[in-house]
Structure 1
Amino acid sequence: MSSLERTPPYLQVVGTLKSKIVSGELAHGDVLPSVRELAAEYGISTATAQKVHRTLRAEGLAEGRQGAATTVSTRRTLHRTAADRLEAALTTGRIYADGEYAVITGADLTTPPEWVADLLGVEDGGQALRRQRVTHNADAEPVSASTSWFVAELAETVPALLQRERIPGGTPSAIEAVTGRRAVASEEASAADAATEEQATLLGVEPGAPVLLSRNVYVDAQGDTVEVGESVAPARRWRAHRS
């Protein structure tokens, strides 16, 4: 029996809808299929379909009022991970969901932290290309502040990485278009922490407020590093995992 077959039917449907929500196919404010529509489409009972709605509401991905349709709710509740954004870039050509936008706050060549240098294969004292941004939702609220790191050679081959302008399709697409190297998978680690003064300013929270720190690596089909990233996001945002 496969893991999918062992998964309760309502969680299988929840997983399908989560994937659509995280990718942006179902955007904030979109109406979710009704209980009857879910039951008919997925061959489940109405009681099971009601459990799907309850689960999505409990996880902060949907909201509903008595007598009204259940709608997607993500602007203040969802944290899109590096894996989510890579999947969106690979499948849709867009790295941000509808309404999201990034403000590029820095792009330069500098000495990277030791952990970044190790992942990129940068020798001691060497430089790496750094690209910094703050991502906002459709309400113009900051949802994350992030830094992407690349080997310094890309400054010449992909000069857009050194410009303080958004790159349509994201950095993985820009690198692939020039070099042919395609990021196909990601690894990510996260930890809770307290916001520094700089992080608090970027995210619009108080210094010392809880935040989520993440480090990620995009790799190509050969397992070689394409991009290294680090980000910080406010608390009380759900990460939705797909399996």
Structure 2
Amino acid sequence: MPEIERSLPPYKQVLTYLREQIISGELAEGDTVPSERQLAADWGISRATATKVLGELRHENLVEPRQGVGTVVTARGQHQSPSDRFRSADVTGRIYPSGQYAKILSAGLVPAPERVALALGIEEGAQAVCRRRVTCDETGPVSASTSWFAAELADAVPALLESERIPGGTPGAIEEATGRAWEDGQDLVSARIATDEEAELLGITERPAALLVGYNSLFDAEGNVIEYGEYLSVGSRLTRYAYQRSRD
């Protein structure tokens, strides 16, 4: 049974706990979250605090009320960041939330452009593994992404060169084959207007359209990049970043 820690306000603790369950996939799309009454009983908090928690989850588009059912998890309008996917893979073994799936568009060895070479620490034009995919849900494309790896990883993980999904995601397959586990990650995010090709890939019909553009890297314990990725998402979708003020 969860317990309140006095170091943080009860509201923050309950909110963080439920948010992490949703982001990790422990609570999947369509699952019912505890009611105000149940949250109050489980955590020993007031009904007003429980109401505030559920209200914030609704504000973040993580849950929605459903008549006759209660409050249920929904990913509608959300873009799952790479950090969310990797946490989900660690906790549940699934890299995508319920209701989403990836289509691998291509996989193979190609010359690394400058930005990729810099990220992977290889020479520009050297061969690198490139995997392109589009992530969809019942409404259509959610995001498009490209993952890059040093060419030698393909010897240990041949599946990187296959246009098929890798169960549990690429980081897990690389760790299993080589022992190299990711320890830290970094995302850089910007925005721009979609090109015609990008708009078609994401099913965007109204143009011009804004895109959320991200660049993410996974580092091993020695600080070397295991995977470098670039992703695109429709600008109207929300991406959540949580942070706390340092009290040092």
Q: Deviations over 1:8-67 (max 9, x none)?
A: 422321111111111111112211101011111122100110111111111211111577
Indicate if the aligned counterparts of 1:18 and 1:240 stay in contact, CA closer than 8 A.
Answer: no
Higher RCO (CA-CA < 8 Å; seq separation 6+): 1
| Alignment match, 1:29 | 30
How far the C-alpha of 1:157 sits from its partner, in A, is 2.2
**Whole-angstrom CA distance in 1 between matches of 2:78 and 2:182:** 24
CA contact (8 A) 2:116 2:228 kept: yes
Partner of 2:131 in structure 1? 131
Amino acid at match of 1:198: E
Give the distance between the partners of 1:78 and 1:229, measured in 2 at CA.
Answer: 19
Superposed displacement of residue 153, structure 1? 1.2
1:72-126 Cα offsets, whole Å, 9 max, x none, are 121x222111111111222322211222211000112112221210121111321
TM-score (norm 1): 0.91
Q: Which amino acid aligns with 1:98?
A: S
Q: Would the alpha carbon gap of residues 91 and 185 (structure 1) be closer, same or farther in structure 2, given more than 3 Å must change?
A: farther
Can you give the 5+ residue segments of structure 1 that lack an aligned partner in the other structure? none
Which stretches of structure 1, 4 residues or more, deviate above 4 A after TM superposition? 4-7, 65-68
Flag the 1:8–1:192 CA change in 2: closer, same or farther, 3 A: farther
Partner Cα distance (2:215, 2:156) in 1? 25
Q: Given that residues 32 and 69 in structure 2 are in contact (C-alpha distance below 8 angstroms), is that contact kept between their aligned partners in structure 1? A: no
Match of 1:194 in 2: 193
Normalised by the length of structure 2, the TM-score is: 0.89
* Equivalent residue runs for 1:23-102 within 5 Å: 23-64=24-65, 69-74=70-75, 76-102=76-102
Q: Which runs of 5+ in 2 are unaligned?
A: 244-248
Q: In the aligned structure 2, how far is the partner of 1:208 from the partner of 1:166?
A: 32
CA 1:28–1:208 in 2, change beyond 3 Å: closer, same or farther? same
Aligned partners of 1:62 and 1:71 also within 8 Å = yes
Partner of 2:166: 167
SS at match of 1:167: coil
Kept in 1, the 8 Å contact 2:112–2:124? The answer is no
Identity %: 50
What amino acid is the match of 1:17?
A: L
Instruction: After superposing the two structures, state which structure 1 stretch, 23-32 or 145-154, moved more.
Output: 23-32
Equivalent residues, number: 238
